[in-house]
Structure 1
Amino acid sequence: MFQKVPARALTDNVAEQLLEKIQSGAFSRGDKLPTEAVLSEEFGVSRTVIREAISRLKYEGAVESRQGSGVFVTEQAGIRPLRIDYTDTGTLDSVLQIVELRRAIEAEVAAQAARRRTDATMVAIDAALARLDAEVAGGGDGVAADVAFHRAIAAATGNPYFLKTLEFLSQYLEAATRVTRTNEARRADFTRQVREEHQAIVAAIRAGDALAARNAAQNHMYNAARRLTQLGQPGQLGQDEAEADDERSGTPS
């Protein structure tokens, strides 16, 4: 039923094979897994390896132990969490693809924020933009402040899933955002463009104009991608970031 696994990464291999069987439906929700003894024999590994693999699946919420009964597939086991491998985000091409995904989400976020914003959330957006402007004016890279600004807009929608999705994507764009902002800081026109794009989004949200907010957010993300491509050819993102860090620290590249 299962493939024999090599000596290396035994626990990982066992856990992955078991999870694959669960996700493919070979083990349905509520099904009882074979006993440790059976799994140990089929995988050709010790019971300790099986226990460690089961423990990982428990941590992921795929299985649960029932005292005196065994290990069972949970009801939520078929729900696969969204993951992006960090090794897939080291090139400019892959970062631009994530930016493309974020553009679609940011556009809807801005539109919904325009429809639903309150006086309180508008104050929070204004404050976030002011902090971003102040940090950039003070010579900072503005990365954290930029994330906080977009977070404030997402919060104004009243939809927590917008917020969670953007937080998920932002972690993969942090390096690219830092490089982009360093690049933008070297050009006054870029700095001015970014500030004007942010102001356009905020103005549309304040006016309650969903269409204008959507267009302003799309324009901002299109331009962010354009500015990012000026860093160099795909695959050079990590090198450019290192050079930017060296320049800020005074270390020769």
Structure 2
Amino acid sequence: MFTKVDGPVRLADRVASMLADEIESGRLTTGDKLPTEVELVKQLGVSRTVIREAVSRLSNAGLVEARQGRGVFVLPRRTRPLDLEADTTDTKAKVLQIVEVRRAMEGEAAELAATRATAADHARMRQALAAIDAAVAAGGDGADEDLAFHRSIAESTGNAVLVSTVRYLGEVSRGGIRVTRANEARRGDFFDAVREEHHAILAAIEQGNAKAARTAARRHLKHAAARLQKAGPEFWNTAQDLGVELDAAE
């Protein structure tokens, strides 16, 4: 079904793109089951790590769904996620546009969370912040954990539409968030500032101060944009490749 994939970099991206093409072309349709992990390893000539990462990206994009004990199945088509390489807008402009959208959405979510979040919600937010620190300490970029923190805020509002919107925004903007996190990881002062901003959002929510929570969330995204503006050409020239795992022997 597939041909072997070779090349030193971006293998997970290339495998994900190949599988997405099968779905977009209609060769794999809604309800079809993807070949097993073992079959894909044999057909494509890459490691299981690459296959898992590629399938994870398809799942995050809403193209497939893993069903426990049954396999991975193609989902009905929906709006495709933003692609940092798919259109003519340069990477920097797209990432900054993502930050603008997040500022509007997450400011509102934080404001509502301050008036609705329970003690259990507060605990989940604190766990999410701890997970960011743990991911970074382990050498990761913390992008998924960062998304989980902001998602936990939305979930505490009890607004199902807001939760779905924030989740979808996270899916389509994952690449941009990963670029943002990579930029912040370049400098200790950036990383410390992000951590302080996250904790300021949580503190305002825990205090039940809706205005302060909204302000803290919007300030966080405003500062994120400012930090991105400080990144030089060398960073932006390689931004499309950030956060992509290479093939690894198991």
Shorter-normalised TM range? 0.5 to 0.7
Larger Rg belongs to: 1
Structure 1 runs of 4+ aligned residues shifted over 6 Å read none
Deviation at 1:84, TM superposition (A): 5.8
Paired residues, number: 169
Answer yes or no: is 1:133 the counterpart of 2:127.
no
Aligned equivalent of 2:71: none
Check whether the contact 1:90–1:238 (CA below 8 A) recurs between aligned residues.
no
| Amino acid aligned to 1:149 | F
Deviations 1:69-110 (Å, cap 9, x if unpaired)? xxxxxxxxxxxx766653247622122122211111100000
Partners of 2:240 and 2:82 in 1: CA distance: 19
Kindly tell me: are residues 129 and 85 of structure 1, through their superposed partners in 2, closer, same or farther at Cα, counting changes over 3 Å?
Answer: closer
CA distance in 1: counterparts of 2:149 and 2:243, whole angstroms: 24
After superposition, give the CA deviation of every residue in 1:176-208 in whole Å (9 maximum; x if it has no partner): 222222222221100100000000000000000
C-alpha separation in 1, matches of 2:212 and 2:108: 11
1:213-239 Cα offsets, whole Å, 9 max, x none, are 000000001111122233345xx8573
Residue 240 of structure 1 pairs with residue 239 of structure 2: yes
Q: State whether residues 81 and 171 of structure 2, in contact with CA within 8 Å, keep that contact through their aligned partners in structure 1.
A: no
Deviates more, 1:203-212 or 1:163-172: 163-172
Structure 1 residues 115 and 228: alpha-carbon distance in aligned structure 2, compared to 1, 3 A threshold: same
Are 1:204 and 1:210, in contact at CA under 8 Å, matched by a contact in 2? yes
Aligned-pair CA distance for 1:131? 1.1
TM-score, normalised to structure 1's length? 0.59
**8 Å contact 1:114–1:210 — kept in the other structure?**
yes
- Percent identical residues: 46
Q: Per the alignment, do residues 82 and 214 of structure 1 end up closer, same or farther by CA in structure 2, a change over 3 Å counting? A: farther
> Residue type of the partner of 1:204?
A
| Contact 2:125 2:202 (8 Å CA) reproduced | yes
Q: Which residue of structure 2 lines up, in the alignment, with residue 205 of structure 1?
A: 205
Contact persistence 1:90–1:237 (CA under 8 A): no
TM-score, with structure 2 as normaliser: 0.60
Rounded Cα–Cα distance in structure 2 between residues aligned with 1:193 and 1:140: 18
**Partner residue, 1:215:** 215
RMSD: 2.8
Which residue of structure 1 aligns with residue 158 of structure 2? Answer: 158
Distance (whole Å) between structure 2 residues aligned to residue 83 and residue 175 of structure 1: 13
Partner SS for 2:199: helix
| Alignment map for 1:74-223 (pairs within 5 Å) | 86=83, 87-88=86-87, 91-223=91-223
Q: In structure 2, what is the Cα distance between the partners aligned to 1:152 and 1:202?
A: 11
Q: Residues 85 and 189 from structure 1, CA distance in 2 versus in 1: closer, same or farther, beyond 3 angstroms?
A: closer
Q: 2 CA distance for matches of 1:180 and 1:94? A: 11
Higher relative contact order (CA 8 A, sep 6+): 2
Task: Name the CA distance, whole Å, in 1 between partners of 2:140 and 2:195.
Answer: 14
Could you tell me whether the CA contact under 8 Å between 2:109 and 2:157 is conserved in 1? yes
Q: In the superposition, relative to structure 1, how do residues 84 and 138 fare at CA in structure 2: closer, same or farther (>3 Å)?
A: closer
SS in 1 for 2:139: coil
Query: Whole-Å Cα distance in 2 between the matches of residues 145 and 191 of structure 1?
Result: 14
Using the alignment, how far apart are the partners of 2:182 and 2:101 within structure 1?
23
Amino acid in the other structure paired with 2:238: Q
Deviates more, 1:97-106 or 1:190-199: 97-106
Q: Distance in 2 between matches of 1:129 and 1:113?
A: 16
**In structure 1, distance between residues paired with 2:193 and 2:141:** 15
Structure 2 counterparts to residues 8-27 of structure 1, below 5 A: none
